[in-house]
Homo-oligomer: A and B are copies of this chain.
């Protein structure tokens, strides 16, 4: 799964696209987050610390890839990418807090509550969530004004509703609640899948669906299926890496999730079957966009990237 070093021309193109897209999302986040010089300075400093934490911006890349697939307005793509990364950043800050996963480190740096304090971390997450909905409801996004959408909500309102549902108790927050309740329990594969569909899948799906709202029903259905499969594949690969990374670097076979007594795809299926499951989901994701040509290129490349990642 680690052949990223073997680059051919097509992968170079993907690399250049990724570089451009990453510059775009970093710039968008920088313009969206209040400056550290604005009061309350400590809160704004902590919000920036948490949003610029070295994340890979997979969700933003999925938004940009879908925007290309659906030929969406660039402003819509930027708003969707930014909003979804703000929600992701808030979820990491709250997940790391002592009453949740109690992680002192996030990507090798002190997590927000360690760098600042618990109260600030709580408010950082709260304010990042508000900011995501602020970005999506910006007045200058309303390029649709004057259009008539018979029997359909305004596209921007659809995006806001997608993100709200993906973040809430029947989405990400609900998945986190199920995850906390499942420690030490034995789950079936279906229960594990349901938990991940909420905890990480819902936001990944929103990242893909938001830029698709003005597209055709066929394309929306295609990216919806693509997102469901790739969201789950993402999590299966995560579970595999949790074991394999530890095996390579720490010389032990059990990963930190297994140590934490959390059910994973590897503990339920075994390593070999987990890898087959990830491949099957990858193929299912590709099948969903198979009818399409070059406009689906970035989605295909991102799917491969997600399967190959070694972080």
Contact = CB atoms under 8 A, between A and B. Distances in A.
Interface in A134-193: 134, 136-139, 142, 145-146, 148-150, 152-154, 156-158, 160-161, 163-165, 167-171, 173-174, 176-178, 180-181
Could you say how many copies of this chain the assembly holds? 2
Contacts of A121: 99
A115 interface: no
A225 interface: no
A125 interface: yes
B131 A177 contact: no
A100 interface: yes
A168 B125 CA distance: 10
Contacts of A228: none
Contacts of A168: 127, 130-131, 134
Contacts of A127: 167-169, 173-174
A178 B134 contact: no
Given A43-B177, A157-B137, A118 B142 contact: no
Nearest to A194: B39
A156 B156 CA distance: 10
B173 A126 contact: yes
Contact of A100 (B44, B122, B150, B169): B122
Contacts of A108: none
Given A40-B181, A42-B177, A139 B153 contact: yes
A120 interface: yes
Contacts of A136: 160
Nearest to A179: B40
A169 B38 CA distance: 10
Q: Most chain-B CB neighbours within 10 Å: which of A40, A94, A154, A165?
A: A40
Interface string A224-257: 0000000000000000000000000000000000
Contacts of A146: 148-150
B170 A34 contact: yes
A36 to B, nearest CB: 11
A126 B123 contact: no
Contact of A138 (B34, B149, B161): B161
Contacts of A163: 133
A97 interface: yes
B47 A169 contact: yes
B137 A122 contact: no
A59 to B, nearest CB: 16
A119 interface: yes
A129 interface: yes
Contact of A174 (B43, B142, B149, B161): B43
5 contacts: A40-B177, A122-B122, A125-B126, A133-B160, A134-B168
3 nearest A-B residue pairs (beta carbon): A130-B168, A99-B118, A134-B164
